[in-house]
Amino acid sequence: MKNTYKNRYGDTYTFTRDENHDILWEGNFEYCRTGMPNDYTRAYAAYLKDNEHVQSLMPFQQFKDAVHEYDDETHQYIYDKYVRMVDSLKDEIDMVDPSGGPYITRGMSLGSFGFKNYVVKDFKPVDTGIKIITEKCAYCNQAGGIHKMGCETRKMTVFLDDQVKDYYDQMDKEVHQNRANLNE
Ligand SMILES: [Zn+2]
């Protein structure tokens, strides 16, 4: 399956699904912005060290948001010291934005490029463009919320109506995430 997308400048990009249900993105990447994910390890370690004797510390997840908070009155970052220590994971890409679009980030749906329920997990540069690695079912390795006949997920949800199904889909996601963490 191959879909074509024309951006604001009239450049054409193609999105081709491969046999692994990942999507090859081809076109002009000569003028292209890419983003690297933030690495909060160093900043959080410093925060913990500075606050050794403080009773209630921010958990890591909360810290990741809070460290970017900006005070509009003093025109300073609230955690100025730590925000300077936020590093970038230089070997990873979490955002791709060619001049004129389309802007695509991790976690984004690829529905507007013709791949319904496909979600971006990662980007890998390849010779002819960028390979978009998609989120897969942890049981049957299918993308786009589709499952093989024998998939455990399908067995669990096949009899449920849509409203209940949405709830279970969310549960499935969490179960899968937990399961994925276990496998690491
Ligand atoms: Zn499945």
pLDDT at residue number 184: 37
What's the CA gap between 103 and 19, in Å, rounded?
A: 25
Residue 183: pLDDT band (50, 70, 90) is very low
pLDDT digits (tens, 9 = 90+) for 57-88: 999 999 999 999 999 999 999 999 999 999 99
pTM of the model: 0.72
Distance (Å) from CA 130 to ligand 1 centroid? 26
Distance (Å) from CA 155 to ligand 1 centroid? 9
pLDDT at residue number 150: 87
Distance (Å) from CA 150 to ligand 1 centroid? 8
Distance (Å) from CA 126 to ligand 1 centroid? 27
Q: Which two structure tokens, joined as six digits, stand for 161?
A: 């109506």
127-151 mean pLDDT: 92
pLDDT at residue number 144: 92
